[in-house]
Structure 1
Amino acid sequence: MPQIADSSPATVFPRLSWAEDLLVPALREAVGALPESESRVAGYHRGWCEADGTPVVSASGRGKAVRPALTLLSAEAVGGSVHGALPGAVAVELVHDFTLLHDDVIDGDALRRHRPAAWSVFGTPAAVLAGDALLVAAVRAVCDAPHGAAAPAVRELVGALLDLVEGQSLDVAFETAAEVSVAQYLAMAEGKTGSLMGCACALGGLLSGADGERVSGLREFGRRLGVAFQCADDLLGIWGRSARSGKPVGADLVARKKSLPVVAALRSTDPAAERLRELYGSERSEHSWDAAELDVVRELVEKAGGRQAAEEEARRQLSAALRALAYARPTPDAYRQLQEIAWAMVHRDS
């Protein structure tokens, strides 16, 4: 796994069980209110039950609850209550699961959270409909926010969703694009990943009654952190380990996706970049790379400077995120916790 060297405020991923303890009961209630079929697919996706509906006794959330934690900590950062921000935390987690269900369908990824992806178990239509239902549940969650906060919270969520869809659309379009610049990639990542993290943080401020400047600082913190997270995710997608990440490593390369390391490598003048351009220009249906060939492609991306470029961009985006957070004038304890989460998200190994 690539190491993004820097001075670290934390050596392990912060424990977020406190956020999960608040989130999961409300999340289960929201998913349980869905139509039965969609509720079962969503429950399987989260690891709460088997495909036949049998409960998984040891299951809690099967995720790190990062986005909800950002919402709750952002509320605390501006003097608000985590309980008051809980509708926003539920909404962003529901949207996140909506995107994962649809992403796995779009990308054809058959593994998610160490289990077969929902579409491969229930079929594509069922997975898509479950994702749609989660999106509706997310909007309903913020509509139920305390009086006076619901309207701005819904506007924040809808705006983020539009950015997210645009980012996802660009990501798909990049697969067949002849050329993609680093700037184009970063704009895509801000929509695809940064928009929801920015929304998560902004909702914490909005649901706590924070002023516009503080909400803007929180939103920008989340958006920059989201881009940094996407850079790190791209690195894991090429050099990570499936056993740790719970999703297939190398699938992005097989699909000829334009992740940041690849985008940077393809624009390099290194001789390895020319060979990489030839391989990426071949039709997927013409030849699917085996494990040995994937290793060659990984090596070409690294030799052409793609790995280093992605690591450096992750560091730049993380620094920008922490600068933006200062504009929110966070409480010292919340700032420390947000900084630790931000660091861990970018330097994780799974």
Structure 2
Amino acid sequence: MTDLDVSLDHRSAREVLDWSRAGVDPALRTAVDRLPDSMRAIAGYHFGWWDEHGRPTGADAGKAIRPALALLGTQAVGGAVDAALPAAVAVELVHNFSLLHDDVMDGDTTRRHRPTAWHVFGVNPAILAGDALLTLALDVLAGSGHPNAQEAIRVLSSAVQRLLEGQSADLSFEERTDVQLAECVRMAEGKTGALLGAACAVGALYGGGRPDQVEHLRSFGERVGLAFQFVDDLLGIWGDPEVTGKPVYSDLQNRKKSLPVVAALTSNTPAARELDSLYHAEQPLTPTDLARAADLIETSGARSWSQARADDLLVRAREHLRAAAPSERAALELDAVARLATHRDH
């Protein structure tokens, strides 16, 4: 038996994520070991495997939601999970490429309770390390020898293009005062939904799924991804720093045009007008300003609206999951992971 063998009973979401991390990490480390030493040092630090001096640590490596979706996508169509390891590794590499770049662009100095890679190694080295992870992801798929590797590369590359478009829109929002809610949702669909959808799709491809199964599982993942972003944006305002690894009100401090913020700003309420004045003031926001901004977002109804949208997206995701006709255990576990992603503590 291997680390990726499972029992007959379906597991909780936490058990699935632990299983995914335990099974994928050795293959992920093997892939990262192929990087040039300078890139490997930064990547390993970012993954939490060692400190800036290369000394092993037990730092948080993340939740491993995307590789879990890839592995479960394979199981859902009746495929062998071990054969899907390249798919799971590839989506985790792409996700962490985006995190390395996001931290630079957002100026975030903390991730997973540690200084971000750019804060330790510098901006340019962190950008290059992100580039290295992206090219490594495609190399892992190309070198897998799987008959569907070429299609998986196409699916993942398309998702990366959508992710980049979403990130570009997110950055442009920082300079604008007229961001509309519909375009903010489209941004999140690309920035977050696309990769979760691709994770499910490449997993299904590596499991030998039918085209209709691949597409339904992709749609499932995309909707879970958008719901995940709604919840993540709520955490960016009200999340517990002990859970998120970021300061309280971190998104407000950065004046991010996140989903609940834009929902509040476009709500045509008194709270919206006061929030607009706060958000677009020239002076830095004080702790009192940040607390007031959070209160205004809640008063506008944007906090409850965001959670309701996440709940609705989960319902729609389940419809696509059923349409994919997955194996019973994989369906239960995919649903459990989706529920965890959309109902984190906040």
One fold, TM greater than 0.5?
Answer: yes
Cα deviations across residues 225-279 of structure 1 (Å, max 9, x unaligned)?
0000000000000000111111233222122211111111111122111111111
Residue 169 (structure 2) aligns with? 170
> Does structure 1 residue 143 correspond to structure 2 residue 139?
no
Cα gap change, 1:53/1:161 in structure 2, threshold over 3 Å: closer, same or farther? same
1:133 aligns with: 132
Deviations along 1:132-188, one digit per CA (max 9) or x if unpaired, are 100011011111223421110111111111111101111111112222222211111
- Cα 1:73–1:12 shift into 2, 3 Å: closer
Q: Give 1:331's match in structure 2, choosing from 306, 316, 327.
A: 327
Work out whether residues 13 and 336 of structure 2, in 8 Å CA contact, stay in contact via their aligned partners in 1. no
Matched letter for residue 55 of structure 2: T
User: Does residue 294 of the first structure (1) align with residue 294 of the second (2)?
Assistant: no
What's 2:268 paired with?
269
Aligned residues: 337
The whole-number CA distance in structure 1 between the counterparts of 2:159 and 2:169 is: 15
Counterpart of 1:85, as a letter, is A
Q: Percent identity?
A: 49
Residue 49 of structure 1 contacts residue 55 of structure 1 at CA under 8 Å; is this kept in 2?
Answer: yes
- Aligned AA for 1:345? A
SS at the partner of 1:210? coil
Is contact 2:44-2:50 (8 Å) kept? yes
Letter in 2 for 1:131: G
Distance 1:130 1:316, change over 3 A: same
State which drifts further: 178-187 or 339-348. Answer: 178-187
Q: Spell out the pairing of 1:206-225 with structure 2 (5 A cutoff).
A: 206-225=205-224
Q: 1:262, 1:306 within 8 Å by CA — same for their partners in 2?
A: yes
2:342 is aligned with 1:343: no
2:305 to 303, 309, 322: 309
- C-alpha offsets along residues 315-348 of structure 1, whole Å, 9 cap, x if unaligned? 1111111111112111111000000000001111
- The C-alpha deviation readout for 1:274-309, integer Å capped at 9, x for no partner, is 111111222xxx311122221011011111111011
Q: State the partner residue of 1:196.
A: 195
Task: Verify: 1:18 aligned to 2:22, yes or no.
Answer: no
- 2:110 corresponds in structure 1 to 111
What SS is found at the alignment partner of 1:288?
coil
Match of 2:4 in 1: none
- Corresponding residue number in structure 2 for 1:30: 31
Name the TM-score, length of structure 1 as normaliser: 0.93
C-alpha distance in 1 between matches for 2:29 and 2:11? 31
Q: Retained in 1: the 8 A contact 2:73–2:203?
A: yes
Distance in 2 separating the partners of 1:279 and 1:197: 34
For residues 125 and 281 of structure 1, what CA distance do their matches in structure 2 show? Answer: 30
Is the 1:109–1:248 Cα contact (8 Å) retained in structure 2? Answer: no
Shift of 1:112: 0.4
1:15 CA displacement:
4.4
The match for 2:240 is 241
The AA in structure 1 aligned to 2:324 is A
Alignment match, 1:4: none
**Could you tell me how far 1:14 is from its partner in structure 2?**
4.2
- Aligned equivalents of 1:147 and 1:333: distance in 2? 25
- State the partner residue of 1:3: none
Aligned partners of 2:16 and 2:68 also within 8 Å:
no
In structure 2, the residue matched to 1:101 is: 100
Q: CA deviation at 1:12?
A: 7.1
| 261-270 or 190-199, which deviates more | 261-270
Whole-Å separation in 1 of the counterparts to 2:201 and 2:11? 24
Structure-1 separation of matches of 2:39 and 2:266? 43
Amino acid at match of 2:42: V
Amino acid at match of 2:258: S
Amino acid at match of 1:111: T
Q: Distance in 2 between matches of 1:28 and 1:147?
A: 20
1:133 alignment partner AA: A
Query: Contact (CA 8 Å) 1:10, 1:343: kept in 2 or not?
Result: no
- Equivalent-residue separation in structure 1 for 2:328 and 2:30 (angstroms): 33
User: What is aligned with 1:179?
Assistant: 178
Distance 2:278 2:20 in 1: 45
Aligned to 1:83, the other structure's residue is in SS state: helix
Return the alpha-carbon distance in structure 1 between the equivalents of residues 145 and 87 of structure 2.
11
The C-alpha deviation readout for 1:109-143, integer Å capped at 9, x for no partner, is: 00001101111111101110110100011011111
